[in-house]
Structures are given as C-alpha cells and as structure tokens.
C-alpha cells in the first residue's frame, strides 16, 4: 500500500479506510492499531487446527518464509493462520452481523425472490426500480424518496446499469437497449484472482477427507455440538500465507491457501488416503476483462470475459506461484504427512506443461472487482462519494467500485466500502489520526 493517492479517489487513502475496517470488526484475539473489538462482524482464529498445519508453517520456514501471526497487521508476508469471520465457532457474515439484528425494524423491508429489471431515470435522475416477483402483487415499480443504492457486485451491478441504459453507448446499441447515459467504464476493468492447485495424497488420516465415512461424519457432528470444534467448525482453508513470485515486488504478490482436503477437482484420481490441497493465486494481475450483456433481455445471463493472463506477466508470475506451492509441499517438514503429489503430477515439470495444466484446472477465487470503478477519468463510473457520474440519486456500494483487485480476499474490503458508504450517505466524516499514511492509496498497483 505504498502508492500515492490518485486523482478522483479522495477520501480513500489507507488512513481514510483503516477506521472502517476496524469499525466493522469484533476481533477475538487482536485489538491494536490494525484491529478492534466491539464491531458487528465476528473475527477469530481457527479453533482446532490440524497438526499438518503446523508442519506447513515449518515447511515454509525451511524455504525462508517466516511464520506470521497476523497477515492483517503491519507485515503481510509469511505463513500462518487466517483470521476467519466466525464468532463462537459460527459463521459471521454480513447478513448475520448487520441484517439480522435490525430485521424487525419498521423502516426496513426485505423483498426475497425479487428480480430487478432496470433502474428508471427521469432527466438524468434515478427515481425508481422496476421489479418482477413470483407474487404478482409484489411486482411493479418502486419509487425512491431519496436515492437508490445498487449493491449487486462486480457482475450484477454493471449488468443492471446497462439494462437501464447506462453504460458504453456502442455496446448498448448493439444489444438493442436505448441509451440513457453514456459511461464507457461500466462493465470494463474486470479483475479477479485466479487459483491454481497442487493436490497431494497424504500418508494417513491427516485432513478432513477422513470424515467422509458415516461413522466419522457422525463423530464430527458430535464434536461440534459438544465442544464447538472439529471439521464442522472449520473453514477447511484455515491456514496459508503471502509470499513473492516477483522478487522486486513491493509486497507479497502470491497468496496461498492450504486446503484440508483434496476437493472434488476434475482429474484427481481415487486416492487410498485423504488428500491435501495448496492453492496459489497472483494477487496483482495486470490483465483486465469485461462484463457485457448478451442481449436486451434482463433475464439473460451476462457475458463475462475475465481475460485471465492476457498480460504475459500474469502468466509468468502465476507459474512461479504454482512452483512455489509444489516446493512447499515437498519440504522435509511435510514428509510425515504428504505421500505423493497427484496434481499437477510429477510428470509435469516444464513451463509449457504447467501452463497447460493450469489452463485445464484453474478456477476463480471469487474475488471479482472493478467494473464500476471509482475515479474521475473517462473510464470511471462513480465519484469518490460512490455516486454514479452524471446521474443524480444513484450510488453503487460493492466490490465493483474498487479500481483494482486488492492484495487479499475481498470480503473485508467490501464490508469496509459499505461502512464508509454509510457515513457518506449520512454526511458523516471520521477524524484521521494516522498522518503517516494519509496519502497512501488503499488500492494500488
């Protein structure tokens, strides 16, 4: 986070957004400059990590990768436990943390199973939403007294804008939608993290694959009911870390997740013993993709082109990340736990072989961002107050406003965006005390 604040992102420097990360957090372990307790979102460390996790940390140290007790603190590099959005061994989500406590308020109505067709504009102002619902009485047009907030994510938000006639003029004409407001950046600038896998067979029952038998599955349920521990209390990806593919990078550019099982990935042959997975993902890809409409029918799925590895640099660094994962799993500290690599497999050693394997087996990390990016340039969609450029009464509050994918999972940054948006809507400001980082941009190359 060493880049300088860019034009159009005023109020989104590191020092500006850190208080919103902390305001959201109810951290069971840390309360310091980077963490807080008392917020709505439960955050905790894993309750019952398996012995293979400790061996994973030792394997990293054998390669010179240190143990890190807090990736979200002063330093990101190293291997360690992920902090989980859990509270008392239960999942803590935006729904349970924010919505459930207020769901009975008289001024809140949640309409389930509703499908928004479009935003209705009048003289460059968003005035209503058109909704279809299985119950005919709930379908219709809902008018806004003040403003409309779109929070449909990096795929849904640009889709809804374009359905409403807001977006790239040429594309909207091509699909037969009347242009209401030209914004070239809608649906552009798509970014995501791409996961590559190394899957190995274990020497014994060292991961949660062992609980696939009915007896052990029942035991897992009993463990959770009585002790709030075991696989039911696990996220399955409780440990991992951040390290370097590009040795000149300013901060770690590879994220690792140790999966306590072999998953159900295609190409994994039957294994006698449980398996273990180590994922790697390039954190700061240079490639950009798009979200576009297939046609003018709002019910049609959008056309998503992530454009992964369009930039050769992304391919090169991703292959280095894959090799790093293989190297970690082959270290002496893990010999007691890891029997043999199954994917990519020992026969795949050249860059071309690994690239072909990656093309066949890579998957999204489910971190899409950027398609309604913040800024003041021609490709920007929202201003620093998250209002859509050129349209009154319309904001976007989700990961689509991030100008580039952050070097981490997107859950916490998206909640931060929502926390800050709440203050923007209410006209509140926070006093910034971290002067050392007041010009450091939260989302940097």
Going by pLDDT thresholds of 50, 70 and 90, the confidence category of residue 231 is: confident
Of residues 60 and 213, the one with the higher pLDDT is 60
Mean pLDDT of the chain: 92
Burial of 209 (0-12, 13-18, 19+ CB in 10 A): buried
Query: Which pLDDT score, from 0 to 100, does residue 248 have?
Result: 94
Going by pLDDT thresholds of 50, 70 and 90, the confidence category of residue 442 is: low
Average pLDDT over residues 145-151: 97
Cβ burial 273-298 (10 Å sphere, 16+ → b, else e): bbbbbbbbbbbbbebbbbbbbeeeeb
Kindly state the tokens that stand for 293. Answer: 């409409």
Least confident of 5-14, 62-71, 105-114, 150-159: 5-14
Query: Which pLDDT score, from 0 to 100, does residue 432 have?
Result: 60
Separation of alpha carbons 289 and 307, rounded Å = 5
Separation of alpha carbons 418 and 416, rounded Å = 5
Q: Which of 367, 389, 431, 437 is catalytic?
A: 367
Query: Which pLDDT score, from 0 to 100, does residue 444 have?
Result: 46
Q: What is the 3-state secondary structure (H, E, C) of 99-163?
A: HHHHCCCCCCCCCCCCEEEEEEECCCEEEEEEEECCCHHHCEEEECCCCEEECCHHHHHHHHHHH
How does pLDDT run across 284-306, given as a tens digit for each residue?
Answer: 999 999 999 999 999 999 999 99
Going by pLDDT thresholds of 50, 70 and 90, the confidence category of residue 266 is: low
Go through the domains of the chain in sequence order and give each one's CATH number.
Answer: 47-79+195-286+308-364 (3.30.410.40), 111-190+369-437 (3.50.50.60)
Q: What is each CA distance from 387 to 196, 249, 393, 394, 421, in whole angstroms?
A: 36, 34, 8, 6, 10
Long-range contacts of 165-173 (CB under 8 A, 24+ apart): 165/118, 165/121, 166/119, 166/121, 166/388, 166/391, 171/292, 171/293, 172/293
Query: Which pLDDT score, from 0 to 100, does residue 436 have?
Result: 46
pTM score, two decimals?
0.92
**Cβ atoms within 10 Å of 205's Cβ, excluding its own:** 14
Chain Cα centroid distance, residue 163: 25
367 labelled catalytic: yes
How does pLDDT run across 7-25, given as a tens digit for each residue?
Answer: 457 899 999 999 999 999 9
How does pLDDT run across 422-431, given as a tens digit for each residue?
Answer: 999 999 877 6
Going by pLDDT thresholds of 50, 70 and 90, the confidence category of residue 441 is: very low
Residue 268 has pLDDT above 70, yes or no: no
């Amino acid at each position: 986070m060493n880049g300088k604040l860019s034009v159009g992102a005023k109020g989104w420097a590191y020092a500006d957004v850190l208080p919103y990360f902390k305001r959201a957090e109810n951290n069971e372990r840390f309360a310091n400059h980077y963490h807080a307790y008392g917020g709505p979102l439960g955050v905790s460390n894993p309750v019952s990590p398996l012995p293979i996790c400790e061996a994973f940390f030792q394997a990293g140290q054998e390669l010179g990768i240190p143990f890190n007790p807090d990736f979200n603190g002063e330093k990101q590099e190293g291997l360690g436990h992920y902090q989980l959005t859990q509270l008392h061994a239960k999942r803590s989500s935006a729904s349970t943390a924010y919505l459930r406590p207020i769901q009975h308020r008289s001024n809140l109505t949640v309409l389930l199973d509703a499908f928004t067709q479009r935003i209705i504009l009048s003289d460059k102002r968003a005035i209503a939403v058109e909704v279809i619902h299985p119950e005919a009485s709930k379908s219709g047009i809902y008018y806004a007294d003040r403003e409309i907030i779109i929070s449909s994510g990096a795929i849904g938000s640009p889709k809804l804008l374009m359905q409403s006639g807001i977006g790239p003029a040429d594309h909207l004409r091509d699909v037969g939608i009347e242009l209401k407001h030209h914004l070239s950046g809608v649906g552009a600038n798509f970014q995501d993290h791409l996961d590559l896998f190394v899957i190995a067979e274990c020497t014994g029952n060292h991961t949660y694959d062992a609980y696939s038998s009915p007896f052990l599955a029942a035991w897992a349920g009993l463990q959770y009911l009585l002790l709030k521990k075991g696989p039911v209390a696990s996220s399955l990806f409780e440990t991992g870390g951040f390290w370097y593919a590009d040795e000149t990078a300013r901060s770690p550019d590879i994220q690792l997740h140790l999966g306590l099982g072999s998953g159900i990935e295609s190409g994994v042959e039957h294994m006698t013993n449980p398996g273990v997975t180590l994922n790697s993902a390039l954190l700061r890809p240079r490639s950009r993709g798009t979200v576009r409409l297939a046609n003018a029918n709002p019910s049609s799925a959008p056309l998503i082109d992530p454009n992964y590895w369009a930039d050769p640099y992304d391919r090169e660094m991703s292959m280095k990340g894959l090799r790093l994962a293989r190297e970690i799993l082959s270290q002496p500290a893990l010999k007691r736990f890891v029997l043999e690599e199954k994917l990519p497999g020992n026969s795949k050693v050249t860059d071309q072989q690994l690239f072909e394997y990656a093309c066949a087996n890579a998957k999204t990390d489910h971190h899409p961002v950027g398609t309604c990016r913040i800024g003041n340039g021609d490709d920007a969609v929202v201003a620093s107050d998250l209002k859509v450029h050129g349209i009154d009464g319309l904001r976007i509050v989700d990961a689509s406003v991030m100008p580039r994918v952050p070097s981490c999972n997107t859950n916490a940054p998206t909640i931060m965006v929502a926390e800050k948006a709440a203050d923007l809507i209410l006209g509140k400001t926070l006093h910034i005390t971290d002067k050392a980082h007041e010009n450091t941009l939260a989302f940097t190359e």
